[in-house]
Every structure is written in C-alpha cells, then in structure tokens.
Chain A
Amino acid sequence: MRELRIHGRGGQGSVTAAELIAVAAFEGGVFAQAFPAFGVERRGAPVQAFVRFDDKIIRKRSQVYEPDYIIVQDSTLIKDVNVFQGVKKGGIVIVNTEKVPDYKVPEGVKLITIDATSIALKAIGLPITNTSLMGAFAAASGEIKFSALENALNHRFPKELAIKNIEAARQAYDKIKGAA
C-alpha cells in the first residue's frame, strides 16, 4: 500500500485534489481511498487530505502517519505544522513555493519544489494550486497517468474551468517531467 498526505489550508482544494487523485488512480486499475481530516471548518485553517493506493481492497480507515508522498500546497504551513512528519525513506515531498527552501526534509526523502501559484495564476487566473500540484504529483510519483487525471478533471468541472485546470496540471506535469 502507498499513501499520500496533502497539507493545505481550508479553501485551497486539498480535499478535491485527494478525491481526484483517487479517481484517476481507480481508472488506472488500482484500489484507491481518499478522505479528508478537517480541523475547524473555515477558510485558511490547516487541512489535511489523504489518499491510499493498493492492489487489493483497502480496509484501513485511520489517518496517514507514514506517507510515501506528501504535497504541501502552502509553504507558510511549514513553520506551523510538522508537515514532513513520518514520511518514509525513499518518499517524495512536493512543496508549492517560489523560494529556495530554507528547511530540510528527512534524510533519504526527495524534495521537489514547484511554483504552482504562478502556474495557477497564469492558467486559471486564480491562486488555486491544487490542480497544478496534481499534475506535479502524477509526474513525480507515477501513481496516476496524466490522461486519467485529465478525465477526472473533465468529469468534475464545467468545460471551461476544466480546460484551464487541465492546462495548469499539464504545465506542472511537464515541468517536473522535464526536470527529471
């Protein structure tokens, strides 16, 4: 079983990202489970969302403590929340930031930074970074195919919004693929 933990703030679409990643993974033929952990229900409050991937039915319901993958939607969370806690050796951490990191991920863990906010502002016109980071996750992890992500976005959003979000996801996907 592989596990993903997404850290964001209320309103940034972390829960939607987890859901759509699970939908895309399911299209790829694996069992997937996505669920949120709300703190307080309001915009700006720290939120976590989780995804599990497995070849067999997933029964476990507890939160994700030892993730293989971590996505951080908002790098300002890093000083408030121990977002890297429990990440497995060989794991991948994706942080949305335009800055050079002044923090360290645990040893043996790969850190990928991407300026998802700029990508989102250009492609969507809003600083909503979840879809860009889904693209980055697809490229970095190989857990989901980009085409499956595209289908999930088309299914979830009205046409115009889907096109913009797919564009954001593609730019992030290409950037990470190009860097690899």
Chain B
Amino acid sequence: MREITEGSHAVADAVRLCRPQVIAAYPITPQTHIVEALADMVANCQLDAEYITVENELSALSACIGASAAGSRTYSATTSQGLALMFEVCFNAAGMRLPIVMSIANRALGAPLSIWNDQQDSISLRDSGWLQFYAEDNQEATDLHYLAYRVAEDHSVLLPAFVCFDGFILSHTYEPIDMLSQEDIDRFLPKFTPYERLDAADPISFGMYATPDYYLEFKYEMDRALKESKAIIHKAGKEFGQMFGRDYSAMVEGYRLEDADTAIVALGSICGTTKDAIDEMRDEGKKVGLLKIRVFRPFPTEDVAKALSHVQRVAVLDKNISLGAKGAVALEVKDALYSSGIPVKDYIIGLGGRDVRKRDIKAIVALVEKGQGDMFYGLRKEVL
C-alpha cells in the first residue's frame, strides 16, 4: 500500500516486518527517529522483540553480537561517531560470522563536529567484512532491509550487513512509499536458522584465539563468503522483483547509460538529483548517463567494468575522502577499469552536508569533458 511517511519511520516499519528478536541501539542524530519508533513498537506490543537499552554504541553492537551468537535475528542502527565507537566490535561481528543487520543514517565524522550528511562513516568500515547496501530513496531504504537479512543469513554468506541511507536527506524526508505487508515479508524472508549457536547444553565458542596457523585462513573464508554473496544478492534481488515488482538482482543500475559518452558513478541519494540533471543535459544533446552503485561491499568490480566498457570518460562522485589518497568509490572504479584505459576522474562532493544541486552535476560533467578532476568540488576559496 502506498503511503507518505518519513524515511526513518518507513525504515522502522520495514525492520518490524523482518521480525527481529533482539534490538540494541543508542540514539544519535539523524538515526534517532528509527530507534524511537522501534522502542515504541516493542512497548506497544506491535513487535515481539527484546529491546535492550544500552549506555553507548559499543555496548549496542556488543549486545547484538551476544544475541546473534545465541541464535536471534538481531538489529541495530547508528551513524557517524556512533559507528566509529563500534569500530572494534564491527570487526568482531563479521569475524564471528554473525548476520546482524544495521541501518546507517549516513552522517559526517568529526572533528569538526557535523550532524549533516556524507558517507564517510560507513565507507570507513569498508574493510570490516560487512556487506554495504546504499539506498537512493526511501523505497529502496526499506526494501534493502528485507534483502539484507535474506542475504546476510544465507548459510553461504553469514556476514553482517549495513543498510546505508543518507542522513536527513532521506532519514528526515517525507515521501510516498509502497509499504509491504507482514504476509509479503514472511513469504520473502524465512525464519533465521543459525548455522551454529551458543547453547549451554552443547557448548561451542565464537571468535576464539587464532594463532598465526589459522588467522590467514579465517580472513580468506570471510573474503570468499563476501565475494560469493554476489550470487546470493542476485538471486534474492531477482526473487524480490518477481514477488513485488522492484528488481534488485543487479548490484549496479544504469540510467540512460547505454549510449552515453560520459558516465557519472555515484551511490546513495545523490543519484536522484543526478538523474534529473542528466535528463536536462540529454535535452541539450549531451550524451551523459549514470551508473548507480547499490552494493559497495562486496564491490561489483566486474559489473562496473561491463557497464562502463563503452564510455569515453567517467566522473565519480564521492561523498567521502580517503585523506591522502582519493575518494573510496573512485579507487574501486579505477581498479575496475584499469585495463580498459578509460579515464576516471574523482570529485569529492557534498561533505558535511554541503548541498549538491543539478548545476553542480552539470559543472562536473563540463570538468570531466575537459579532463579536469581528482579534486574537491565546490571549495569556497575565500575560507581556505
């Protein structure tokens, strides 16, 4: 049923439909509305889950790790400094192969303090072993939660997943959403069947000491599972499309890309504004297209290479910066296109909530056509 609601509330509703058994989270702007709504649902008996209030984010994810190891479907949500505080246990959750799903309402990292959006927080955890999904709009933000649980809990994956949606830009936006029913989600998402679980009657250990004889193999297995999850995402995304009409089988999505000379690559909500800018540039006769990346981990290297194989130049929009190097998305795209010789330019954009307009996208296309890039876009020189 189509309704109009706030992104955070839609995400909370989607999480409820996934029937999590344990939720542990700590409120932080702009994630707060999600966990407030879930706490209400648990208190009002609309959701049969244990809601654990904790003193900070480190405890939130630690509680989720315990609950997940005991065999529960487990959920958390955070952003920015909250995710930074979870850094240590993020690696534990992945290493212990626990399919926790966590919403990230993407926000910049301090210092300087910023409550506004960019994607530095989740991107900074790219090496942790979590799957990372990025939503363009609130419809996708809800749907990707169903997909995330389905993929994460698959016994050939068993890794945790972030569902990332841009803080404020999506989390605080009211827009129409087609909400699925409990019956729908019960058909798509089976009950969580743990591969192994903590059981006092049959004791096992998770996350034990690994000597140098074993550690390398543990990491290899995690990497293999993450890469093999591509096939699981494809299958689950296709099935979702067959059931509900929105096909998420592809990890990347082209927009007016088939005959494009210039391709823009981006992830998250910036794709919407970019599509509007592309329509206007197309009307002016410019052959510009978009490649939206929906899954950043595992990175769809082959899909990116294939989708961009015919273009003459690529402009990557990065709402993050690996300081001292480049934007994280550009580094991946350059890797994917290395042997093709197609020039790839990077544009660091929208950090700390700097607004991105259609005219900015058009200006970047003009820059990449002139071969100018690998830069911070839109710097206010007067304050440098």
Q: Which residues of A contact B168 (CB under 8 A)?
A: 35-38
Distance in Å from the Cβ of B241 to the closest Cβ of chain A?
A: 18
The docked-state distance in angstroms from the alpha carbon of A60 to that of B276 is 7
Q: Which residues of B contact A38 (CB under 8 A)?
A: 115, 168
The residue that B270 contacts in the complex, of A31, A37, A57, A61, with Cβ under 8 A, is: A61
Name A19's closest neighbour in chain B (CB-CB).
Answer: B174
Q: Is the CB of A35 within 8 A of B269?
A: no
Q: Is the CB of B174 within 8 A of A41?
A: no
Q: B189-214, CB under 8 A of A: which get 1 and which 0?
A: 00000000000000000000000000
Q: Which residues of A contact B (CB under 8 A)?
A: 15, 18-19, 22-23, 26, 31-38, 41, 57-63, 65
Name A49's closest neighbour in chain B (CB-CB).
Answer: B172
Segment at the interface with A among B13-21, B351-359, B374-382: B351-359
Interface SS, A side: mixed
Q: Which residues of A contact B4 (CB under 8 A)?
A: 22-23, 26, 32
Q: B321-351, CB under 8 A of A: which get 1 and which 0?
A: 0000000000000000000000000000000
The docked-state distance in angstroms from the alpha carbon of A61 to that of B115 is 18
Distance in Å from the Cβ of B168 to the closest Cβ of chain A?
A: 7
Q: B162-191, CB under 8 A of A: which get 1 and which 0?
A: 000010110011111000000000000000
The docked-state distance in angstroms from the alpha carbon of A34 to that of B5 is 10
Q: Is the CB of B169 within 8 A of A35?
A: yes
In the A-B complex, the 10 residue pairs with the closest CB atoms = A59-B272, A26-B4, A35-B173, A34-B174, A62-B357, A22-B174, A33-B175, A60-B276, A61-B269, A61-B273
Q: Which residues of B contact A58 (CB under 8 A)?
A: 175
Q: Which residues of B contact A59 (CB under 8 A)?
A: 137, 272-273, 275-276
Distance in Å from the Cβ of B357 to the closest Cβ of chain A?
A: 4
The docked-state distance in angstroms from the alpha carbon of A57 to that of B175 is 9
The docked-state distance in angstroms from the alpha carbon of A164 to that of B156 is 58
Additional A-B contact list (7), CB under 8 Å, known A19-B174, A62-B273: A22-B4, A23-B4, A34-B173, A34-B174, A41-B29, A59-B272, A61-B166
Q: Does B6 sit within 8 A of A, measured CB to CB? A: yes
Name B274's closest neighbour in chain A (CB-CB).
Answer: A59
The residue that A62 contacts in the complex, of B173, B175, B355, with Cβ under 8 A, is: B355
Q: Which residues of A contact B275 (CB under 8 A)?
A: 59
Q: Which residues of B contact A (CB under 8 A)?
A: 4, 6, 29, 115, 137, 166, 168-169, 172-176, 269-270, 272-273, 275-276, 355-358
29 contacts across the A-B interface (CB closer than 8 A): A22-B175, A23-B4, A23-B174, A26-B4, A26-B176, A31-B176, A35-B168, A35-B169, A35-B173, A35-B174, A38-B115, A41-B29, A58-B175, A59-B137, A59-B272, A59-B273, A60-B273, A60-B276, A60-B358, A61-B166, A61-B169, A61-B173, A61-B269, A61-B270, A61-B272, A62-B355, A62-B358, A63-B355, A65-B357
The docked-state distance in angstroms from the alpha carbon of A22 to that of B115 is 25
Name A58's closest neighbour in chain B (CB-CB).
Answer: B175
Residue of A60, A61, A63, A65 with most chain B CB atoms under a 10 A cut-off: A61
Name B170's closest neighbour in chain A (CB-CB).
Answer: A61
A23-B4, A59-B137, A62-B357 given; A32·B176 CB < 8 A = yes
Name A26's closest neighbour in chain B (CB-CB).
Answer: B4
Name A18's closest neighbour in chain B (CB-CB).
Answer: B174
Residue of B4, B6, B272, B355 with most chain A CB atoms under a 10 A cut-off: B4
The docked-state distance in angstroms from the alpha carbon of A58 to that of B270 is 13
Q: Is the CB of B355 within 8 A of A32?
A: no
The docked-state distance in angstroms from the alpha carbon of A137 to that of B13 is 31
Q: Which residues of B contact A34 (CB under 8 A)?
A: 173-175
A41-B29, A62-B273 given; A33·B357 CB < 8 A = no
Name A15's closest neighbour in chain B (CB-CB).
Answer: B172
The docked-state distance in angstroms from the alpha carbon of A132 to that of B338 is 60
Q: Which residues of A contact B6 (CB under 8 A)?
A: 19
Q: Which residues of B contact A60 (CB under 8 A)?
A: 272-273, 276, 358
Distance in Å from the Cβ of B347 to the closest Cβ of chain A?
A: 16
Q: Which residues of A contact B355 (CB under 8 A)?
A: 62-63
Distance in Å from the Cβ of A55 to the closest Cβ of chain B?
A: 13
Q: Which residues of A contact B173 (CB under 8 A)?
A: 33-35, 61
Q: Which residues of B contact A65 (CB under 8 A)?
A: 357
The docked-state distance in angstroms from the alpha carbon of A23 to that of B173 is 12
The docked-state distance in angstroms from the alpha carbon of A35 to that of B116 is 13
